[in-house]
C-alpha cells in the first residue's frame, strides 16, 4: 500500500490536473478518496481564482453575463427545469418550448417577461438571451405536416397547445399578472 503523502505529492506534480487524472488516482488508491477529492477541489479552485484574477474587467463582465444566460438556459431547458416547474406549478414541458425557435418572442406578454426573470433572479436581458439560445433543439409538436423550418408560433397559441390542467392555468395566470411595478 502506497503512503498517503507520497500519493498526494505525486498527484500535485502531475502535468495536468484533470478529472481523468483524478479518476486514475481514485481507481489506484481508493483508500485516499476523500483526500484526493479535497486536494483536486482545492487545486482547481485555486486555478479558477488565479485565472479570474488575471482577466481584464471587461472579460469578467462578459463572463458574468454569460453565466447568467447559462443559468437561464439551465433553469428553462436543463437540469434546473424540474425545480423551476415545481416552484411555479407548471409542467416541465411548458418551459422547454420557451425558446424563440418555438414561440415568437414578440408575442410573449410583457408581464410574463417581467415576472419570470424575478423568479429566476436574473435580468430581463439575460432571460431574452437565454430564450433566444434555447436548448439547442426544438420541441416536438404534433403536426399533420412534414417537419421543416416552421415559423415560431404566438405565445397564446403555444399556451393553447400546452393542454394545461386548471391548477397549471392558475399558476400561469400568476406569472401573467401585472404586479403594478414599471
Domain boundaries, the chain: 4-54, 58-176
Q: List, for residues 83-129, the tens digit of each pLDDT value.
A: 888 999 998 888 777 776 788 888 888 898 888 888 888 888 888 88
How many CB atoms within 10 Å of residue 10?
Answer: 13
170 — pLDDT class (breaks 50, 70, 90) = very high
**pLDDT over 50 (residue 159):** yes
Choice among 19-33, 49-63, 84-98 with the minimum mean pLDDT? 49-63
Cell of 175: 406569472
What does each C-alpha distance from 40 to 15, 30, 35, 50 come to in angstroms? 14, 14, 9, 15
**pLDDT over 90 (residue 135):** no
Residue in 100, 109, 94 with CA at minimum distance from that of residue 176: 109
How many CB atoms within 10 Å of residue 3?
Answer: 9
Say whether pTM exceeds 0.85: no
Residue in 106, 151, 165 with CA at minimum distance from that of residue 131: 106
Alpha carbon distance 182, 180 (integer Å): 7
Which residue is listed with cell 410583457? 110
- 146-160 CB burial, b ≥16 within 10 A, e <16: eeeeeebbebeebbe
Amino acid at each position: 500500500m502506497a503512503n498517503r503523502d507520497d500519493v498526494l505529492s505525486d498527484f500535485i506534480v502531475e502535468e495536468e490536473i484533470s478529472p481523468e487524472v483524478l479518476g486514475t488516482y481514485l481507481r489506484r488508491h481508493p483508500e485516499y478518496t476523500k483526500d484526493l477529492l479535497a486536494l483536486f477541489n482545492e487545486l482547481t479552485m485555486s486555478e479558477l481564482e488565479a485565472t479570474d484574477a488575471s482577466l481584464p474587467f471587461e472579460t469578467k463582465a462578459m463572463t458574468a453575463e454569460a453565466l447568467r444566460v447559462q443559468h437561464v438556459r439551465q433553469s428553462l431547458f436543463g437540469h434546473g427545469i424540474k425545480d423551476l416547474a415545481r416552484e411555479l406549478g407548471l409542467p416541465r414541458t411548458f418551459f422547454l418550448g420557451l425558446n424563440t425557435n418555438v414561440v415568437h418572442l414578440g408575442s410573449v406578454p410583457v408581464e410574463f417577461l417581467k415576472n419570470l426573470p424575478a423568479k429566476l433572479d436574473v435580468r430581463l436581458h439575460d432571460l431574452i438571451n437565454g430564450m433566444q439560445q434555447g436548448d439547442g433543439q426544438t420541441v416536438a409538436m404534433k403536426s399533420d405536416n412534414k417537419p421543416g423550418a416552421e415559423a415560431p408560433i404566438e405565445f397564446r397559441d403555444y399556451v393553447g397547445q400546452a393542454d394545461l390542467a386548471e391548477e397549471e392555468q392558475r399558476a400561469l395566470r400568476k406569472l401573467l399578472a401585472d404586479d403594478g411595478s414599471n
